[in-house]
A and B are shown apart, each in its own frame.
Chain A
Amino acid sequence: MPETLQNPYAQWFLATAVLAALSYMFVRRELRVRATAYGSFLAACIVAFWPPYARVVDGREIPGKVRLGLDLQGGIHIVMQVITDDALVAVVDDGVQTVREAASRKGITIEKVQRQDITSFVIEGVEAARIKDVQEELRTQFPTGWDISPPEPGGRIVLKLTDAEARDLRERTVEETRRTLDRRVNVLGVAEPLIAIHGDKHDQILIQLPGVKDIGAARRMMQRTAQLALKLVEDSNSTKEALLAGRGGKEPAGFEVVQGSGDEPGRPVFYLVHREAIVTGRDLKNARAGVDENNQPDIEFTLTPAGGDKFGRATGANVGKRLAIILDDLVESAPVINSKITDRGTITGRFSQQEAEELAKVLRAGALPASLKPLQEISVGASLGQDSIKAGVWATGVAMTLLGLFLLAYYKLSGLNAIVALTANLIILLGAMAAYEATLTLPGIAGIILTVGVGVDTNVLVFERIREEIRNGKPVRNAINNGFERVWITILDTHATALIAAAFLFQFGTGPIKGFAVTLVWGLIANVFASYFVSKFLFEWVLGKRQVATLSI
């Protein structure tokens, strides 16, 4: 086939031209425009959905134009809740930290700064003489988004995120989560993934990965928060208490305690590290799985130029000290800094090869701003989806054949008219679904069968009415005209009520039911065109201008 003919528009244009020529030859004048228009529309639909199924050409798979749902092609569907509280807590914790640092910088004594709940923290025991300074400082440090309470007795000030700010923060968190997951899926290399904000409160994320088999691996990759932070180690010990013993029993300002991850059972290690990270996941340029000198899987990363600068300065100044590599609040490893390192490093730990690869991909795609809680997980085996397709196609074929035979037997040549109309209905339905990239699901196939049922109903309504008119002694042409005219209002009413039902089915979100609603909606619309207008045209065309005495109905 020449190159230009592969262009769908060219195909459609050619088909229309052929149809126009044919109508000029075989259709009488007053019907020509309609014949060409109807034919051209059907040709456009065929071009839109052909070929409907995937096939292999020259060793490459060319996807079909009708998108199949997860239930038919296999794959996974996960709904997870974004724990947006996490993001609020992080912001409030940041606030606590800011206040502590500002206080020590300005030499103000404060007894306690502490998070109260997920949206507020409290400052207590501010020395009375400097309460004004503190208020001043708070106003500059927290200019927007916070309600700062007036000082209470005991030097107590409460800072609370405003409702608008909290809401905004939650929304941004969900959106950022979606974007991060989008990047992770890109790394996975899934064709036609769907990642969307979901649920009535818009705090869930829906992930659909067609063709993916391992639901466990996919979920781990989606769910992992992957917060990477490289922090200098001050000290380490086997219990938290021992670690803090010489330091007054609590974390000194600017330091925190983090537990080790790859510990041997029964021998935990705790690290006292600087609160401030030297570099974080944001400074990563790339990460990939490799092996270390002992042939153990590890993750090798490179830093952005800015991140490399920071890293170089910090490592250069702290040769001989240990550096904690912290992933999701656990220390993976804490190697000694032997020399200044600028733009690359490795994360070693007790990884399997697969874990190392998953982690590298997740690190490349970036960290999630909040943790995720799985709500629903559906996986469909590809071969089980195939079985469903077979059953669906089989049922459709059986139903169509039986209906066709019945229509021919009961309405003779007019039955043939109905079969043409039903075929046109299916062509439009498939064309519209392909053009609007709608997804065909197993209930969607059931929807197609029901569409055929509705199509037959329309034809039967018209035909029975024509028969009735003929029985009442009307001439054939009048009977046909009256038949179509009288049932028009009924067809309108029945289709409108069915569309109302379908519209509500549509609200069921993205699952198989939506696929059912989609086929039903397009089927109903296509049916009005096919079973009414196309069918009427066929009658007029076949009967010609002459006054016929009998009708094959």
Chain B
Amino acid sequence: MQFLKTPNFDFLGLGRICLAVSALLVVGSIGLVASGGLKYGVEFSSGTQLIVRFTQAPDIDKIRGAVEKVSPGATIQRFGAVENKQVLIRIGDHKEGEEDLSAGANAVLQSLATMYADNKVADSSTEIVGPTVGAELRRKAIQLTLFGLFFQLIYIAWRFKGPVWGSAATIAVFHDVIITLGLLAVFRYEITLNVIAALLTLVGYSVNDTIVLFDRVRENLRQRRKEPLPKLINDSVNQTLSRTLISNGTTFLTVLGLFLAGGPVLRGFGFAMVVGVLVGTYSTIYIASPIVVWWQSQASKGTGVGGSQIKAAL
């Protein structure tokens, strides 16, 4: 079986339109994130989160009644599939200097036991985060993501002997991460530690995809030095298209499985990965490649030696 025999599409011809669409999406995402559109999980924002499993199907209104008594303004929602009988309860932030972190969680559980006595709590998990930890973790997450990107850039620059490729790959990755964040905001997913893990993974994944293409371009550059770079890159995209479709298609299916069947804890992780795989595949062809072409045309304008700089670097 084979889906594509010898594909020969004009990918870069669509470059301008795609760049415009991407620019729009990136600007929109930055706007959303900057205007506080992201919801942070309890580990990043401090506060208390309980996941409670009841013995029978829980009645959200009754639970709200019991929880509001001790902790007004709590968020209460079903957690996972209905047959799991689980409910997520999120209560307010902690004040600095508060000695007993778990007081709020205990009060909620006690209130549930008395006010909603006909449906007992079978098991519960709590996550209680003081304000200092949340802030520290947020800083660390941003730091590590940026450092991770930076070192990948250095690696690519070293492997491809020039800043063009590393920069192109990095800009593509930024594009992916920003759009994924934007979509997380649109669909109201919480930024949890798991989602950060997904973001860092999709950084690796997107770079991976870009490298496969660049490696092919490099190989072609060695054999066909005379041809113009845009055509060469377009051919390389076509040559690797089969691999891109199969490989990213299968990865897409696995993360889709994770998103749909991985349970409520992994839902956000799965969502970020699903978006990441799609955007990462797209950005390799429509962000990373045009940047290399554009860089080369700028360089040839300045020195008049065509793509020889890039070629010479290989």
Are A453 and B144 closer than 8 Å at their CB atoms?
no
Are A461 and B136 closer than 8 Å at their CB atoms?
no
On whether A460 and B261 interact (CB within 8 A), knowing A467-B2, A493-B215, A511-B193, the answer reads: no
On whether A450 and B262 interact (CB within 8 A), knowing A384-B123, A513-B194, the answer reads: no
A174-182, A299-307, A309-317, A391-399 - interface stretch: A391-399
Nearest opposing residue in chain A for B248, CB measure:
A457
Interface size class of A (residues with CB under 8 A): 35 or more
On whether A508 and B258 interact (CB within 8 A), knowing A215-B126, A443-B269, A500-B204, the answer reads: no
Are B200 and A450 closer than 8 Å at their CB atoms?
no
Are B126 and A494 closer than 8 Å at their CB atoms?
no
Count, chain B residues at interface, CB 8 A: 73
Chain B residues positioned under 8 Å from A494 (CB to CB):
207-208, 211-212
B60-68, B239-247, B293-301, B304-312 - interface stretch: B239-247
Provide the A498-533 mask, 1 if CB < 8 A to any CB of B, else 0. 101111110110011100110010000000000000
The answer to whether B125 has its CB under 8 Å from any CB of chain A is yes
Q: Which of A376, A394, A443, A461 has the most CB of B within 10 A?
A: A376
Are B242 and A464 closer than 8 Å at their CB atoms?
yes
Cα(A489)–Cα(B314), bound, Å: 14
The answer to whether A285 has its CB under 8 Å from any CB of chain B is no
Provide the A190-210 mask, 1 if CB < 8 A to any CB of B, else 0. 000000000110000000000
Cα(A379)–Cα(B254), bound, Å: 30
The answer to whether B233 has its CB under 8 Å from any CB of chain A is no
A103-111, A163-171, A351-359, A402-410 - interface stretch: A402-410
Interface of chain A residues 285 through 324 with chain B (CB within 8 A): none
Interface of chain B residues 205 through 259 with chain A (CB within 8 A): 205, 207-208, 211-212, 215-216, 219, 239-240, 242-243, 246-247, 250-251, 253-255, 257-258
Are B258 and A449 closer than 8 Å at their CB atoms?
yes
Cα(A403)–Cα(B246), bound, Å: 11
Chain B residues positioned under 8 Å from A520 (CB to CB):
201
Are B151 and A377 closer than 8 Å at their CB atoms?
no
The answer to whether A28 has its CB under 8 Å from any CB of chain B is no
Chain B residues positioned under 8 Å from A334 (CB to CB):
none
On whether A392 and B193 interact (CB within 8 A), knowing A399-B258, A450-B201, A501-B203, the answer reads: no
Chain A residues positioned under 8 Å from B155 (CB to CB):
496-497, 500
The answer to whether A478 has its CB under 8 Å from any CB of chain B is no
- CB B119 to nearest CB in A, in angstroms, measures 16
Interface of chain B residues 132 through 150 with chain A (CB within 8 A): 132-133, 136, 140-141, 144-145, 147-148
A-B contact pairs, 28 of them (CB 8 A): A373-B99, A375-B129, A377-B101, A378-B125, A378-B126, A378-B128, A379-B127, A384-B51, A384-B123, A388-B265, A395-B257, A399-B257, A406-B250, A450-B273, A457-B250, A464-B240, A465-B243, A467-B242, A489-B215, A490-B215, A498-B204, A501-B204, A501-B207, A507-B140, A508-B140, A508-B144, A512-B193, A513-B193
- List the interface of chain B (C-beta within 8 A of A): 1-2, 6, 51, 53, 80, 84, 86, 99-102, 106, 122-130, 132-133, 136, 140-141, 144-145, 147-148, 151-152, 155-156, 159, 193-194, 196-197, 200-201, 203-205, 207-208, 211-212, 215-216, 219, 239-240, 242-243, 246-247, 250-251, 253-255, 257-258, 261-263, 265-266, 269-270, 273
